[in-house]
Amino acid sequence: MITVDISLNDEGQVTDVIMDGHADFDEHGKDIICAGASAVLFGSVNAIIGLTSEKPDIDYEDDGGYFHIRSVDTNNKEAQLILQAMLVSLQTLEDEYKAYIKLNYK
């Protein structure tokens, strides 16, 4: 199962996101849940880097299964909007595939 741990501050802004694990929906290379979650996460991070002044701190494993983004300025409205949009997309995946992806808000 993919777990996504999302840390929010008191104003509901995203401060930290960790995606960990594999969906195991299908074999490697055919797993639409892993592909969808990865596309949402990587697309969002690329949008933050490409469209805002943010340069977030990122940690990941080369073989997949772990990605951590942190140090996004909570005062950067554009970056926060992208992160909120990312959460909406991940929530949609969770709604449809609860057995394979779980979002945890902290």
> Which one of 6, 34, 48, 93 is the catalytic residue?
34
Q: In what order do the strands lie in the sheet with 57-60?
A: 57-60, 66-70, 14-20, 2-8, 101-105
Contact 47, 97 (CB under 8 A): no
101 catalytic per annotation:
no
**Both tokens of residue 72?**
């996004």
Residue among 15, 20, 22, 68 flagged as catalytic: 22
22 is catalytic: yes
Q: Are 19 and 44 in contact (CB under 8 A)?
A: no
| Residues annotated as part of the active site | 22, 34
